[in-house]
Chain A
């Protein structure tokens, strides 16, 4: 079994992206290979510069959104994008864009944040994930 953590990032809301980015950081810090597969709203969130204006939170907790965003500013919590960048800096992290979503949203790799390494299909992700130890869907 590969020492690998595979994360499917489906959600594009700040709360869930924050969770995904912190888990990625943890995996990278503890020496695991981390593969992040961005699909649907998770991929939309990686559109170039999009994270700078993204203040969406999960619908079921949307009443918390203003307080959460404010607290993150006040307490200087690093953004989820910064977490992903830090994770890449300390460990072996690869970020892949789902080819089907790219097609659906009429996007190309160049339209995404430079942190995204490549485009891949679901079969490749599954093949890599089945060799790994941890798989998460966020």
Chain B
């Protein structure tokens, strides 16, 4: 898994305070709007995201760049592949 400093985030969506499945829905919407090759970050404080977000990214066949814990939330980062 790369360090967060190795990737340039093109768009960041703040979904903190939003509940399951809110952050995932934000991620899906954000991915739709992003050009192929773009990197999206979603900030989530929902504990469900830790499993839901990677599961969706794998299912949708994008690149999961990782989950980066911050104080009280996590930054999930993925690259759009298609």
Contacts and interface: CB of A to CB of B under 8 A. Distances in A.
B24 A29 contact: yes
Interface residues of B, number: 14
Interface residues of A, number: 14
Contacts, number: 28
A77 B19 contact: yes
Judged by DSSP, the binding face of B is helix
11 contacts: A22-B20, A25-B21, A26-B21, A29-B24, A31-B59, A31-B60, A75-B17, A83-B21, A86-B25, A89-B29, A90-B29
A26 B65 CA distance: 22
Interface of B: 17-22, 24-25, 28-29, 55-56, 59-60
Q: Is the interface of A mostly helix, strand, loop or mixed?
A: helix
The 4 nearest A-B residue pairs measured at CB: A90-B28, A25-B21, A86-B25, A77-B19
